[in-house]
Structure formats: structure tokens, C-alpha cells
Amino acid sequence: MACILLTGGAGYIGSHTFVALAEAGHDVVILDDFSNSDPGVVARMGRVAGREPTVVRGSVLDEALLGRVFAEHRIDGIIHFAALKAVGESVERPLDYFSTNIGGLMTLMRAARAAGVWRLVFSSTATVYGDPGDRAVPETAPRSHTNPYAFTKLTCEQMLEQAAAAEPWCVGVLRYFNPVGAHPSGLIGEDPRGLPNNLMPYVAKVAIGALPELQVFGDDYATPDGTGMRDYVHVVDLARAHVASVEALLDGRAHTLNIGTGRANSVLELVEAYGRAAGRALPYRVVGRRAGDVAITYADPSRARAELGFEATLDLDAMCRDSWRWMRAQASGFRLNDPE
Ligand code: UFG
């Protein structure tokens, strides 16, 4: 059993990772400023896991606070989720992204180093591959960036590489493909503020009736149905990958890994699958392409299997079913014991 610090642990991926860590018998301390999460999630995380996490409210930019966290808890490893993640917003407010994402990692590493904590899992993204084309993309593919968000993630990867060359860091870089879905309990899930940027949360809001229709960004890509294809990965699988990653670090095994299923689904396939989960065909309209989108991206997941024994097991229907259960549970104010 280890004690793991989760920065951004009240967020979408962080909350599911807390549950997976608790199920694996680990202690968790969460640091979160609740800038993009609802404090009410903590009690629901506790309901799912059978015990509430220790939560410290604050920012990864607050080095004095981080010092106190490391002084008060015997932290064995860190999973660093806390970051800004909206591509469009990053184009409008690049300095905020540099400060929170790059500055946040640097502050965290300085405080961790002072406390002698060298094991860190970093939340990265398949977006560091730019446009890898129609092939299962391996971790060795060239990296590039086309927006400030992607720039910050790539820069953080490089900071970690250079720090690990000079100091005893043991780092796990996880490059997520497209995380979707929710916990099957219906108690935790993705809760974007305002209009969702990403496909599944948008489709979910159409299904629940909060938005009238989905706009499909282009049907003239070189894919079988013309719409963009992505490697959607269930957030519960992704959470398990974090447990395997931090456990590998505790064992001294650093790694850089894709986390995806190795399969790609189109926008229309996802809309259909969500419609099956929700029990009705969902309205959509094809509009022009979104700037910066690529036709297709999917992972070569073989290194994660070889190095962590990790394999995604949940399919697109499970992702849609669990997202839909979460949407209905939220709409009912979590009053139903079984929102099914
Ligand atoms: N799409 C629509 N309509 C929408 C939203 C999306 O048709 O309203 C389409 C997109 O064009 C794309 C697919 O749905 O073909 C998936 O789009 P998302 O925005 O859900 O996901 P992206 O692959 O564009 O981006 C996501 C994250 C990024 C991350 C990237 C990594 O948003 O932060 O995956 O590949 F960097």
C-alpha cells in the first residue's frame, strides 16, 4: 500500500483514478482548487470508493502549500492531473496555459524534490503526435504541436525528460487518446462547464435534451463514413492505467505510454452507439470541418500491454451506457439509488 498525491484529483479523470487507487488498497491525498470541478463530487467519490479522500483545497502554483502537503503526508508518488485542457481557450489565453500547465509542473517538481519524492505520473495527450496519419501510432512517432495547449503538454514532457536525465526522477508519461464514459455507479463522470468542446459530452447533452442537436464537424474526411475517427477509451480503463503506472514507478520502472484501445470509431458511430444507450436516434447536422482537426488518430497500445500489462477492456457501447447513466443520475440530483 502506498500514499499517492493526486493533483486535480477532483476532476474527471482524477476522480475515477481515486476510486481505482482506493480499490487497489492505496491511500490518496487530493490537491485541487475546484476551478473546474464541483466540491460536491468529493462525497460521491467517497460513496463509490467506500471512503472519502483526504482533500486539500489549493493550487499547484502554491509552492508553500505543496511544501505543507509533503510535510504532513508521507507521499510515495504523485499523479499530476491539475491542468487546463481546452484547445480553443488555449489559443485565446496562452499565458494562462503556460502558467498553470508549465508553471504548475515546475512548482510541483520543486516541492516534490525538496521532500525527496521522485515518482511522478504525468497526464499527457495523444495531441503531442500532431497528425500521425492513418496508422496505429507508436510512442516513437515524432511529436509536434499546433496550439498552446499541445505546446504546454509537449514542453512538460520535455521538462520531465531533462530533469530525469539530471536527477533521480522516475516518471510515467501517459498519453491519453480520447477519454470518455463515466463510472458505472452513475455517481462520478465528466461535468464540463458551459458548452462542451468534446464530442461525447456534447452528444450526452443532446441525449438528455439540454442541447437541440449535434453539429458534426465535416463528413468529407478520408474515412469510411467521411467523419473524423478517434480512439475512445473508457475513463474506468484509463483510471486503471494510472494505478498500473504509479505501481510501476514504485517498482522503479519509468515509462512513456499510449493509453487507448487501438481501435478508431467515427463521429457517426459514436452518435449511433449513444442513441442505442439512450433508446432513441439522436439529432445531428453535418457542418464544416473544425480548424485543426485531423481525420483519424488511434493508438498502438502494445507498449502499455508489454510494460504495464495494461489493456483497455471496455467497448464503445459500455462507454455510452455509462455516460448515459451518469447523465440521468445527474439530472435526478443523484436521488435514485439505481438510476437504471
Ligand atoms: N466533433 C464533432 N462535433 C462536436 C465535437 C467534436 O463532430 O461538437 C468531432 C471532431 O471533429 C472529431 C471528433 O468529434 O472528429 C472528436 O473530437 P473531440 O473534440 O471530442 O476530441 P479531439 O480528438 O479533437 O481532441 C481530444 C481532446 C484534446 C486532446 C486530443 C488528443 O479534446 O484535448 O483529444 O487526441 F488533445
pLDDT at 194: 86
Q: How far apart are CA 4 and CA 244, in angstroms?
A: 13
Q: Assess if residue 302 is contained within a domain.
A: no
How are beta strands 255-259 and 170-176 bridged, if at all?
parallel
Q: How far apart are CA 72 and CA 175, in angstroms?
A: 31
Q: Assess if residue 109 is contained within a domain.
A: yes
Residue bearing the CA closest to ligand 1, atom 34? 178
Q: Assess if residue 215 is contained within a domain.
A: no
Say yes or no: CB of residue 47 within 6 Å of ligand 1: no
pLDDT at 340: 44
Residue range 96-112, pLDDT digits in tens = 999 999 999 999 999 99
Residue range 218-243, pLDDT digits in tens = 999 999 999 999 999 999 999 999 99
Give the residues of the chain that fall short of pLDDT 70. Answer: 336-340
* CATH code, 106: 3.40.50.720
pLDDT at 192: 85
| Catalytic sites, residue numbers | 149
Most ligand 1 atoms within 8 A of CB, residue of 190, 198, 258, 268 to mutate = 198
Q: Please give the distance, rounded to the nearest whole angstrom, from the Cα atom of residue 90 to the centre of ligand 1.
A: 15
Q: Is the pTM of this model over 0.95?
A: yes
- Ligand 1 atom nearest to CA at 294: 15
Q: How far apart are CA 241 and CA 245, in angstroms?
A: 6
- Ligand 1 atom nearest to CA at 229: 15
Contact yes or no for 339/201 (Cβ under 8 A): no
Q: Assess if residue 192 is contained within a domain.
A: no
Q: How far apart are CA 177 and CA 146, in angstroms?
A: 16
Q: Assess if residue 252 is contained within a domain.
A: yes
Domains of the chain: total: 1
Task: Determine the structural domain holding residue 151 and report its residue range.
Answer: 3-179+232-261
Most ligand 1 atoms within 8 A of CB, residue of 199, 206, 214, 220 to mutate = 199
Q: Assess if residue 114 is contained within a domain.
A: yes
Q: Assess if residue 62 is contained within a domain.
A: yes
How are beta strands 229-230 and 265-266 bridged, if at all?
antiparallel
What are 176's strand-pairing partners? 125, 259
Q: Please give the distance, rounded to the nearest whole angstrom, from the Cα atom of residue 272 to the centre of ligand 1.
A: 17
- Ligand 1 atom nearest to CA at 178: 34
The three-class DSSP label of residue 91 is helix
Annotate 162-197 with DSSP letters as a single string: HHHHHS--EEEEEEE-EEE---TTSSS----SSS--
Most ligand 1 atoms within 8 A of CB, residue of 131, 176, 217 to mutate = 217
The three-class DSSP label of residue 2 is coil
End-to-end CA distance of the chain: 34
pLDDT at 337: 54
Q: Assess if residue 191 is contained within a domain.
A: no
